């Protein structure tokens, strides 16, 4: 297989909250078209990693690079302590356009209709014409089986529908990478299925995705690579077959528990 | 004095009452937003000033504030403001007093917004001001409307405090006529005026709340 362009690079990422290390020396690369799942117990730092990658949280050390552009570089102050030097606001705004994020609890805008949730950011952030934004939205709604929901408000939808709308909202900005932060954790099993179906479909279309999830079988089936994190470090990573057949006692134990 | 003359005279005062009401809202609603931002500022000095301001405005009587605003130019700066200053003094006192209450209402509304709304907006690329005006403010308005309604209804009744510095709004006139004619009637009629005014205010606010009821 031909090597695809590296879209995201994180090198030696460090993050601490009040002196407690949450991420320690995390490095990972994601290439175009790859689907990467991050699994691991609660408190392992996987959500924090996602929040650092999406610039919602500032890293304390390491590098974050999107499409060859540095969102932040590691530098040293006069005392020799390393810190993260983030790019300018304008540069970060440009970098933010390369990714989208789907939240665990959707975070749709409740005062906007489904259509407005999807078209507003393209129009007011990317200055896309209204006709173009609506065309994109209608296409996405049809793809996600929500064509009859354009005029509904988020409170009128089921959790699964809301999560699909939030996926459409993210896709409408045509990101290169889509992050998912436990996209089905707030949903019951039936609704989980409809959201996973959408993500599976996106994987087939070679959307680059990084998914923090507790759905082991789903991760196995949809991912090109699975990363297992615990206590702020990457314990193991590899293809789903490698991870599910690993000798690492801790990984086996976790996967066993999750499948039980 | 016949009933018709009484109502006509009170109605003249009522116009001034409405003016105090409208001008106070016009100035205090935006001013309250500025104070609220000061109260939530990251700058400790600005935050301290806003906090002290709110504390003093809410902690001292409005009547005292009206008198201070009216007499301060003379007692503190020895400025002769003349009779024409009475009405502006009332508006200034009401506006700075109500701004403090509105500031606290706005603040509680803004602080009750889930952080996820800000984060979603940030990820989607909205600027800070777009996030505030398109995403946060419309939702905050819905949340604070009931509290604003309360303050507004209180304001209708508080306008009568302009009486303190003899601004000839409805209550002042009613009081004068009542004293002159040794009759309770003028005060009763003024009460009816206030009551009807507040019914209208409540209806308008209810309409606004309904306008925002299209989502939850």
pLDDT digits (tens, 9 = 90+) for B140-194: 999 999 999 999 999 999 999 999 898 888 999 999 999 998 899 999 999 999 9
Longest pairwise C-alpha distance within chain B: 70
A-interface mutation test, from B124, B126, B130, B142, most A Cβ less than 10 A away: B124
- CB-based contact, B116 to chain A, within 8 Å: yes
According to DSSP, the residues that pair with A72 across neighbouring strands are A64, A86
Q: Mean pLDDT across the stretch A215-244? A: 93
**Integer Cα distance of B195 and A214 in angstroms:** 60
Compute the mean pLDDT over every residue in chain B, rounded to the nearest whole number. Answer: 94
> How far out from the chain centre does Cα A109 lie?
19
CA-based nearest residue to A21, from A52, A45, A54: A45
A106 to chain B, minimum CA–CA distance in Å? 9
With CB atoms and an 8 Å threshold, state whether A111 touches B116.
no
- CB-based contact, B112 to chain A, within 8 Å: no
Residues in contact with B23: Cβ distance below 8 Å, sequence separation at least 6, in sequence order = B91, B94, B95
Check: complex ipTM more than 0.85: yes
A169 to chain B, minimum CA–CA distance in Å? 9
Between A37 and A255, residue with greater pLDDT: A37
Q: How many CB pairs under 8 A join A and B?
A: 56
Q: Which two tokens stand for residue A118?
A: 């999807």
With CB atoms and an 8 Å threshold, state whether A125 touches B138.
no
pLDDT-above-70 percentage for chain A: 98
**Integer Cα distance of A63 and A43 in angstroms:** 22
Residue of B nearest to A179 (CA): B123
Residue of A nearest to B115 (CA): A107
Q: Measured between CB atoms, which of A107, A155, A173 is closest to B120?
A: A107
Q: Mean pLDDT across the stretch B85-108? A: 97
Burial class (CB in 10 A: 0-12, 13-18, 19+), A105: middle
User: CB count, 10 Å around CB of A83?
Assistant: 16
Is 90 exceeded by the pLDDT of residue A119? yes
Residues in contact with B70: Cβ distance below 8 Å, sequence separation at least 6, in sequence order = B85, B86, B89, B90, B93, B165
What is this structure's pTM?
A: 0.90
Cα–Cα distances in Å, from B207 out to A55, A158, B212?
41, 29, 9
The per-residue pLDDT for A77 is 84
- Average the pLDDT over each of A81-85, A111-115, A238-242 and give the range with the smallest value: A81-85
Any idea of the CA torsion for B177, B181, B184, B188, to the nearest 10 degrees?
-40
The per-residue pLDDT for A260 is 65
- CB-based contact, B119 to chain A, within 8 Å: yes
Query: Using a CB-CB distance cutoff of 8 angstroms, which residues of chain A are in contact with residue B109?
Result: none
Query: Using a CB-CB distance cutoff of 8 angstroms, which residues of chain A are in contact with residue B120?
Result: 103, 107-109
Is 80 exceeded by the pLDDT of residue A13? yes
Query: Using a CB-CB distance cutoff of 8 angstroms, which residues of chain A are in contact with residue B124?
Result: 100, 121, 125, 169-170, 173
Is 90 exceeded by the pLDDT of residue A162? yes
Between A163 and A2, residue with greater pLDDT: A163
User: CB count, 10 Å around CB of A204?
Assistant: 9
Q: Which two tokens stand for residue A71?
A: 């969102």
Cα–Cα distances in Å, from B102 out to A145, A231, B91, B97, B125?
44, 46, 16, 9, 30
Is 60 exceeded by the pLDDT of residue A1? no
A-interface mutation test, from B116, B119, B120, most A Cβ less than 10 A away: B120
Residues in contact with B15: Cβ distance below 8 Å, sequence separation at least 6, in sequence order = none
B40 to chain A, minimum CA–CA distance in Å? 21
Is 70 exceeded by the pLDDT of residue B8? yes
Is 70 exceeded by the pLDDT of residue A2? no
Is 90 exceeded by the pLDDT of residue B79? no
B108 to chain A, minimum CA–CA distance in Å? 19
With CB atoms and an 8 Å threshold, state whether A169 touches B124.
yes
Is 60 exceeded by the pLDDT of residue A249? yes
Contact predicate A64/A23, CB 8 Å: no
The per-residue pLDDT for B133 is 96
């Amino acid at each position: 297989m031909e090597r695809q362009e590296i879209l995201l690079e994180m090198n030696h990422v460090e993050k601490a909250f009040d002196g407690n290390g949450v991420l320690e020396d995390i490095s990972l690369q994601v290439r175009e078209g790859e689907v990467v799942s991050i699994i691991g117990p609660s408190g392992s730092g996987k959500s924090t990693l996602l929040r650092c990658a999406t610039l919602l949280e500032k890293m304390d050390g390491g590098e974050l690079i999107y499409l060859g552009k540095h969102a932040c570089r590691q530098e040293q102050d006069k005392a020799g302590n390393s810190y993260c030097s983030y790019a300018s606001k304008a540069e970060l705004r440009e970098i933010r356009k390369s990714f989208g994020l789907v939240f665990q609890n959707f975070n749709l805008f409740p005062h906007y209709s489904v259509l407005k949730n999807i078209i507003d950011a393209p129009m007011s952030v990317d200055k896309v014409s209204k006709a173009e934004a609506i065309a994109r939205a209608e296409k996405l709604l049809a793809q996600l089986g929500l064509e009859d929901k354009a005029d509904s408000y988020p409170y009128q939808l089921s959790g699964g529908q809301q999560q699909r709308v939030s996926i459409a909202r993210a896709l409408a900005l045509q990101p290169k990478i889509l992050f998912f932060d436990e996209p089905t954790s707030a949903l019951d099993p039936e609704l989980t299925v409809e959201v996973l179906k959408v993500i599976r479909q996106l994987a087939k279309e070679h959307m680059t995705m990084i998914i923090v999830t507790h759905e082991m079988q789903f991760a196995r089936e949809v991912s090109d690579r699975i990363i297992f994190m615990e206590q702020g470090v990457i314990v193991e990573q590899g293809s789903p077959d490698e991870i599910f057949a690993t000798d690492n006692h801790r990984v086996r134990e976790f996967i066993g528990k999750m499948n039980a | 004095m016949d009933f018709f003359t009484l109502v006509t005279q009170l109605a003249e005062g009522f116009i001034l009452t409405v003016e105090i009401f409208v001008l106070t809202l016009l100035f205090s609603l935006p001013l309250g937003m500025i104070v609220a931002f000061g109260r939530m500022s990251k700058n400790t000095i600005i935050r301290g000033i806003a906090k002290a301001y709110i504390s003093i405005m809410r902690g001292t009587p409005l009547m005292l504030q009206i008198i201070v605003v009216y007499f301060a130019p003379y007692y503190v700066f020895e400025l002769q403001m003349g009779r024409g200053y009475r009405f502006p003094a009332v508006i200034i006192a009401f506006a700075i007093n109500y701004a403090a209450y509105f500031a606290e209402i706005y603040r509680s509304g803004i602080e009750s917004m889930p952080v996820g709304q800000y984060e979603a907006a940030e990820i989607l690329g909205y600027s800070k001001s777009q996030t505030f005006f398109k995403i946060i403010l419309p939702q905050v308005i819905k949340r604070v409307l009931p509290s604003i309604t309360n303050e507004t209804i209180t304001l209708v009744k508080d306008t009568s405090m302009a009486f303190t510095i003899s601004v000839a709004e409805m209550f002042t006139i009613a009081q004068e006529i009542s004293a002159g004619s040794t009759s309770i009637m003028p005060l009763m009629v003024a009460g009816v005026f206030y009551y009807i005014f507040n019914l209208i205010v409540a209806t308008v606010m209810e309409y606004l709340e309904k306008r925002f009821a299209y989502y939850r």
